[in-house]
Every structure is written in structure tokens, then in C-alpha cells.
């Protein structure tokens, strides 16, 4: 299923458009099914109702583990690199990983988890996180991984939305020179989560934690009570595999739902092709498993292809800015998949951290999460890839399950800051505000996809109407991505950023409405408006305009109070970079905040604010501009 030339790509692409069912059936044949499908695809984008490989039976963990045992049982499946470089790394072979997954799956069963039950996972980046994820999949439980940076309230909202029965966590996590008290956060969250019956706690940082009788149990104790024999649950292709929450235009994060068969095929196919993965290569994706990139390209994609995948607990700048390169050298990484924000941050340390580090193992570089600026692209290319490694700038989303528009390494000619061309099976269209499809090249518009692909979301958990409204109602019969995009003279795609009220901070999606809700929870705040602004390292920063009538006393302290409130409500990742106290917000006569104006002010570009005559009180704009200058 690997594409090896541009001509082959074109042939495959054409086939995927002309005969999508034949195309995907052929790809799906490379996976292990307990029973093959009756029908490859049935769909409509109006309800929406999307089914891939209907009637097929499988278990994704047999594809990620069992099928590699006979020939590759001793091959490393996971290489774990700890936060502290002085500590030993750990390698788990496919055989050992299989054993651990089966054993932990039995722990879940013993604690009452059944097929279809939801399990929340809130863990550090340790091998046991992958074990927990795969153990859920083994028994047909639906995992909902929550990133370690979210607050107790965010976790509680997610647990309640999915009605999770069990939580898997650890005492704490190491991140650079910080420790995060994960169990404490879970304890706070669970005060408001009646659906949770059991909490399994892994020891990692070994900080003191409270253990509630009847509810909290230790991972290490539980695994002693079960054996390693756990037959894989037979799943329908369209059974739920996982829920992953992501931000949108409205205040409440959505639980994006992925199903077993299509997701597996798409994650595996894109992994194998985009990175041109070769047997025995080491693949290092620097994302956290708490995000979709980690789901698809640390766990499911690589393991389904029998690859060796690196799990890195730490951060690129700890203990110093050479760490990521040290990890590459130490584990002889062949493919490095990271984010523009990490590249920009490491760029700022100059070339010294790379000096003397052996990066010759690298063959392919990847970028994901946000637009990569040309400067960062060239720096990555020249200093890390030594101008020899193709860079795959991969555009995709939590909702798409896997990479959508991207070069295929060694196949697609690249162009800095362009995601280039759609992968086989993906039919992008650019649409104007009125919903007209924009044909031809050298054009830009809103990016939509007009035909289903196996990895696409099926629904938003517990609220199908919301899925329809968010993705399938803006334009008829199309999936709307929320991104703006241009197609250049060569037909190459360049993603220009979100066109909705979502900000992309260091590759993390944050809804402006979510941040506003959090700020507004502070007792003294009357109203707030949040917009994104260009940030040298993070890509975008968060700028909050806040009406706080009594902030005059100590503005700095009030700012800190607001940051603390946001940290409590969402998590530290959503803290505004700038807070400006204002006496009013620019509103239209119908009461809508004109964000366009605030965005301009946040960018520091006040020369052309456009038409402000429709504002209720135009004077407020001058006041904000004056304050923003200070």
C-alpha cells in the first residue's frame, strides 16, 4: 500500500476518486479482519450518516499487536524516553507490550468495565498510557484521553459528558522541572462525577496521594491479580473506538467520535505513506497522546504497521534546548514528527544546541498542528534535515482522524509552508462565503471536503445534532473544516488558519468563547472578549479585553487573579498572554461584539479598522486603542 513515485500517487489519487470503494477495499485488505465487510461505504452528509466497512468484524489491538508477534515479537514496539535524561529509557517489545495490554485489559474487566463503557484516561507520557489506551480497545471500552494540562473542572465536564465509569490516572507527572499532581486534580474533578466507580492509579512520581476506600486502587496491585490471557473482543467496524474532546466556536468542547474500522485503516495507511515508513525504522512523534496527533501517530498508526514508536515524557527545552536532538541521537530516530511551535522555540536558541549532536539517522521530517512559517521551515530543513530530508507539512484535524493534505515523503515535491496536495481518498474544495465552489487555481476560500474518508468523525458524543450543525450545515453536502486555505498556481494547498472563533496556541485549539466564559467566572468581571494575535513562538497568543470596573486598585494583581481563574476553569494552556482592562467593548446596535476590530487592535494594526459607523459607541474604540498602546 506504499506509494513510491509521483506517477503512482496520481494513479492512486484518480482511482480513489473514480472508484473509492474499490480503492479503500484494496487498502483495507492490508489489515487483519475477523470477518470482511459486506459494504465498503454508505453515506450522506445531510444527517450526517457515514459507515465504512459495514458488517466487518475486527479488533484494532490484534492489528497493532497480535499480528506482529510471529515475526516481530522481539522487535521494539515502544521506546520510552523519560523526562529526566539521567534515568534509564525503557524498551517494550511487541511481545511484552501485548502481554501488558492483555494483563491490564483483564484488570479493567475485573473492575467491571464492559464493551461500550467509557473510560477516562488522565496520565503522564509513560508506556502505561499506551497500555491503558490499547487495553480499552482490547475489550471494546471507549477511551477518552484527557491531556494532562487540563483542570479538574475540564476533566469533570468531559467525564460527565461521556458518563465515564472508570478513570485511569497516575500519582503525578514530570514535565521539565515541574511536577503535576495528576491524582489531586482527579480527586477534585470527581467531587462532581457520580458516574465514576473506580480509579486506577499508577505510581510514577510517587508523591503522596489520597486513596479513597472502595474507589481508588493501585495499578501495581491490580496487575498482580490477573493473568495475561485476554482474547480480543470482536468489534463491529462502526463500534466506537474513542472519544476525544476538542474546542470549537462555542463554549463547550465537543466529544469527537471515531470508530474502529475506518479509523484503523486511515491511521495505518497515512502513517505508512506520508512518512514512507520502512521496517526497523524508529519513529518519533513529539506530540502528547492526549491530542489526536498522539492517538494516530504515536499509538495506532505506527503500531498497526509494526513500527517502533518513541514516547517522550519530557519537553524539548529540558534540561536544555538540545534535549530533542539528544533524543534523536540516542535512539537513532529516523523519522521526526513535531510542531512549528517547537521548531520556533528551539530556533531561538541558535545552533549551539545542535553542535556535536549526531542527527545523521534522520531520513524524514514532519510538521503538524499549525501553519509553519517559511523561516521555521528552512531552519528545520537546513539545520536538522541537513537539506537531505523531505519535510512533510501535514494538515489535518481531530475530526479527520488522520493526515489529509500533505506531501508524501520522497514522492511529492515540497514547497515551504505548503501542505501541498490531498492524499488519495481526500477531495478538498474551496468555497466562498455564499457557498459557491471556487474552481481553478490561484484562489482562496474556506476549506471543505466533499467526499467521505474512512478516518472521519462519525458524530459528536451524545449530541448528533451538534455534529451536523458544526460540520455539515455551513455548506450543503460538504464537511466544513473551519480553516481558510489558498490553492496556488500549481494547485498546491496552503492552510492559512482558522476562519472561526478558534485560536491555535502552540498547536492547541482553544475556543475564544471558552476562554471568555472562564474569564467571566471571575467575580469582578462584567464582560470580556477574546481574540488571537500573532505570536513569535506560539503562532497565536490569546488577547483578552476585559471589563472589570474595580480593577483600578491593583491591575497587576487583578490580572493574576483572572489568570488563576482561567487556570482553574480550563487549565494553564488557556491563560491569556495579554489582558487589557477596558470600560466598554465595540458592539453593533444589535449587541454583537465586533471582533474584527479587536483583532486589528490586538495585532497592533489600527490604521485601517474598516467601517465602524455601525457601532453603538464608536468612542470606545479610541479608548481601547489608547490603552492598548501603553
Residues of the shown chain interacting with ligand 6R9 in the complex, contacts defined by CB under 6 A: 246, 291-293, 368-371, 393-398, 419, 481-483, 495, 498, 504, 507, 509
Residue 169 or 247: the one with the smaller Cβ distance to ligand 6R9 is: 247
**Shortest distance (Å) from residue 275 CB to ligand 6R9:** 14
Angle at 335 between CA 334 and CA 339, to 5 degrees: 145
> CA dist 176 to 127, 321, 346, Å?
18, 11, 15
Distance, CA of 36 to CA of 342 (rounded, Å): 42
306 vs 422 by CB, closer to ligand 6R9: 422
Strand partners, 391: 365
3 state SS of 32: coil
Strands 39-44 and 49-54: antiparallel
- Closer to ligand 6R9 by CB, 235 or 456: give it: 456
How many other CB atoms are found less than 10 A from the CB of residue 296? 28
Shortest Å distance, C-beta 424 to ligand 6R9: 18
What are the distances in angstroms from CA 564 to CA 377, 404, 558, 576? 35, 37, 10, 11
How far apart are the C-alpha atoms of 549 and 299, rounded to whole Å?
A: 49
Is the CB of 357 or the CB of 573 nearer to ligand 6R9? 573
CB 39 within 8 A of CB 277: no
Phi, psi of 38 (to 5 degrees): -90, -35
Cell numbers that stand for 482 in this block:
473551519
Helix (H, G, I), strand (E, B) or coil at 541: strand
Nearer to ligand 6R9, 292 or 389 (CB): 292
Task: CB nearer to ligand 6R9: give 495 or 546.
Answer: 495
Which one, 176 or 484, has the nearer CB to ligand 6R9?
484
Nearest distance from C-beta of residue 425 to ligand 6R9, angstroms:
17
Distance CA(219)–CA(199), nearest Å, equals 9
DSSP helix/strand/coil, 95: helix
**Partners of 431 in beta bridges:** 437, 446
Q: Tell me whether residue 185 or residue 292 sits nearer to ligand 6R9 (CB atom).
A: 292
What is the 8-class DSSP label of residue 380?
A: I
Nearer to ligand 6R9, 60 or 502 (CB): 502
Least CB distance from residue 443 to ligand 6R9, whole Å? 18
Looking at the Cβ atoms of 369 and 454, the one nearer to ligand 6R9 is 369
Residue 258, Cα to own-chain centre: how many angstroms?
A: 13
- Name which of 306 and 390 has its Cβ closer to ligand 6R9: 390
- Cell 514547497 belongs to which residue? 415
User: What's the min distance (Å) between Cβ of 458 and ligand 6R9?
Assistant: 16
CB of 536 to ligand 6R9, least distance (A): 17
Closest CB 186 distance from ligand 6R9, rounded Å: 23
The answer to whether 477 and 450 are in contact (CB under 8 A) is yes
With b meaning 16 or more CB within 10 Å and e meaning fewer, what string describes 351-360? eebbeebebe
Which CB, 509 or 600, lies closer to ligand 6R9?
509
Q: What's the grid cell of residue 306?
A: 509494526
Omega prior to 544 cis, within 30 of 0:
no
**DSSP one-letter code for 223:** G
Q: How far is CA 491 from the centre of its chain?
A: 27
Nearest to 301 by CA among 133, 95, 106, 120: 133
Q: Which cell goes with 261?
A: 474500522
Residue number, 371 or 428, with CB nearest to ligand 6R9: 371
Q: How far is the CB of 509 from ligand 6R9 (least distance, A)?
A: 5
How do 364-368 and 391-394 pair as beta strands? parallel
542: β partners:
532
Joined grid coordinates for residue 307: 513500527
In sequence order, what are the residues at sequence separation of 6 or more whose Cβ sits closer than 8 angstroms to the Cβ of residue 129? 121, 123, 145, 289, 311
Calculate the alpha carbon distances from 439 to 49, 73, 306, 447, 576 in Å.
Answer: 27, 50, 41, 12, 39
Q: In terms of CB distance, is 48 or 507 closer to ligand 6R9?
A: 507
Minimum distance of ligand 6R9 from residue 305's CB (angstroms): 19
Strand ranges, E, within 556-602? 578-582
CB of 339 to ligand 6R9, least distance (A): 8
Q: Nearest approach, Cβ of 491 to ligand 6R9 (angstroms)? A: 17
Spatial separation of the C-alpha atoms in residues 150 and 615, rounded to whole Å: 37
Give whichever of 93 and 414 is closer to ligand 6R9, judged by the CB atom: 414
Tell me how far, at minimum, the Cβ of 333 lies from ligand 6R9, in Å: 20
Integer Cα distance of 388 and 261 in angstroms: 36
Shortest reach from residue 399's CB to ligand 6R9, in Å: 7
Shorter beta-carbon distance to ligand 6R9: residue 240 or 368: 368
How far does the chain reach from its first CA to its final CA, in angstroms? 58
Amino acid at each position: 500500500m506504499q506509494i513510491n513515485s509521483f506517477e503512482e500517487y496520481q494513479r492512486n489519487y484518480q482511482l480513489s476518486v473514480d472508484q473509492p470503494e474499490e480503492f479503500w477495499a484494496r487498502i483495507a485488505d492490508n489489515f487483519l479482519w475477523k470477518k470482511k465487510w459486506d459494504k465498503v461505504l454508505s453515506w450522506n452528509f445531510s444527517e450526517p450518516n457515514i459507515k465504512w466497512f459495514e458488517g466487518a468484524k475486527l479488533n484494532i489491538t490484534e492489528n497493532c499487536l497480535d499480528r506482529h508477534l510471529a515475526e516481530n515479537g522481539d522487535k521494539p514496539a515502544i521506546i520510552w524516553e523519560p523526562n529526566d535524561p539521567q534515568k534509564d529509557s525503557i524498551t517494550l517489545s511487541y511481545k511484552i507490550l501485548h502481554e501488558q495490554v492483555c494483563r491490564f485489559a483483564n484488570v479493567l474487566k475485573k473492575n467491571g468495565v464492559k464493551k461500550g463503557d467509557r473510560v477516562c484516561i488522565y496520565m503522564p507520557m509513560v508506556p502505561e498510557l499506551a497500555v491503558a489506551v490499547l487495553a480499552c480497545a482490547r475489550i471494546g471500552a471507549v477511551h477518552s484521553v484527557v491531556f494532562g494540562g487540563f483542570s479538574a473542572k475540564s476533566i469533570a465536564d468531559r467525564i460527565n459528558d461521556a458518563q465515564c465509569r472508570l478513570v485511569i490516572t497516575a500519582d503525578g507527572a514530570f514535565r521539565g522541572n515541574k511536577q503535576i499532581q495528576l491524582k489531586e486534580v482527579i480527586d477534585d474533578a470527581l467531587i462532581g462525577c457520580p458516574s465514576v466507580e473506580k480509579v486506577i492509579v499508577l505510581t510514577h512520581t510517587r508523591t503522596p496521594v489520597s486513596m479513597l476506600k472502595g474507589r481508588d486502587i493501585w495499578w501495581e496491585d491490580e496487575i498482580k491479580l490477573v493473568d495475561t490471557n485476554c482474547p480480543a473482543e470482536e468489534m463491529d467496524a462502526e463500534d466506537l473506538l474513542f472519544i476525544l474532546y476538542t474546542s470549537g466556536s462555542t463554549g463547550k468542547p465537543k466529544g469527537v467520535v471515531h470508530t474502529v474500522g475506518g479509523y484503523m485503516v486511515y491511521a495505518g495507511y497515512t502513517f505508512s505513506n506520508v512518512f514512507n515508513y520502512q521496517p526497523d525504522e524508529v519513529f518519533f512523534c513529539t506530540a502528547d497522546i492526549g491530542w489526536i496527533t498522539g492517538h494516530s501517530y504515536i499509538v495506532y498508526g505506527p503500531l498497526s504497521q509494526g513500527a517502533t514508536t518513541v514516547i517522550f515524557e519530557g519537553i524539548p527545552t529540558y534540561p536544555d534546548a538540545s534535549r530533542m536532538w539528544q533524543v534523536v541521537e540516542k535512539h537513532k530516530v529516523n523519522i521526526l514528527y513535531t510542531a512549528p511551535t517547537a521548531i520556533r522555540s528551539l530556533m531561538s536558541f541558535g545552533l549551539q544546541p545542535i553542535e556535536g549532536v549526531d542527527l545523521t539517522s534522520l531520513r524524514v521530517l514532519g510538521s503538524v498542528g499549525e501553519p509553519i512559517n517559511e523561516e521555521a521551515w528552512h531552519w528545520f530543513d537546513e539545520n536538522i534535515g541537513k537539506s537531505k530530508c523531505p519535510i512533510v507539512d501535514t494538515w489535518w484535524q481531530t475530526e479527520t482522524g488522520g493526515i489529509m493534505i500533505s506531501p508524501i515523503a520522497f514522492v511529492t515535491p515540497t514547497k515551504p509552508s505548503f501542505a501541498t496536495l490531498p492524499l488519495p481518498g481526500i477531495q478538498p474544495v474551496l468555497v466562498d462565503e455564499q457557498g459557491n465552489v471556487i474552481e481553478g487555481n490561484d484562489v482562496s476560500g474556506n476549506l471543505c471536503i466533499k467526499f467521505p474518508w474512512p478516518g472521519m468523525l462519525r458524530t459528536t458524543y451524545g449530541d448528533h445534532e451538534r455534529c451536523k450543525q458544526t460540520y455539515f450545515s455551513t455548506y450543503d453536502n460538504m464537511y466544513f473544516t473551519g480553516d481558510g486555505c489558498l490553492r496556488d498556481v500549481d494547485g498546491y494547498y496552503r492552510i492559512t488558519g482558522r476562519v472561526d472563533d478558534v485560536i491555535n496556541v502552540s498547536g492547541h485549539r482553544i475556543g475564544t468563547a471558552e476562554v471568555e466564559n472562564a474569564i467571566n467566572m471571575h467575580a469582578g468581571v462584567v464582560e470580556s472578549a477574546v481574540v488571537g494575535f500573532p505570536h513569535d513562538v506560539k503562532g497565536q497568543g490569546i488577547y483578552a479585553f476585559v471589563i472589570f470596573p474595580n480593577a483600578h486598585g491593583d491591575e497587576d494583581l487583578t490580572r493574576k487573579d483572572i489568570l488563576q481563574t482561567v487556570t482553574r476553569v480550563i487549565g494553564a494552556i488557556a491563560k491569556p498572554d495579554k489582558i487589557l482592562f477596558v470600560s466598554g467593548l465595540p458592539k453593533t446596535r444589535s449587541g454583537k461584539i465586533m471582533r474584527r476590530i479587536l483583532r486589528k487592535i490586538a495585532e497592533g494594526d489600527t490604521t485601517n479598522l474598516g467601517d465602524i459607523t455601525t457601532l453603538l459607541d464608536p468612542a470606545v474604540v479610541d479608548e481601547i486603542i489608547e490603552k492598548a498602546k501603553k
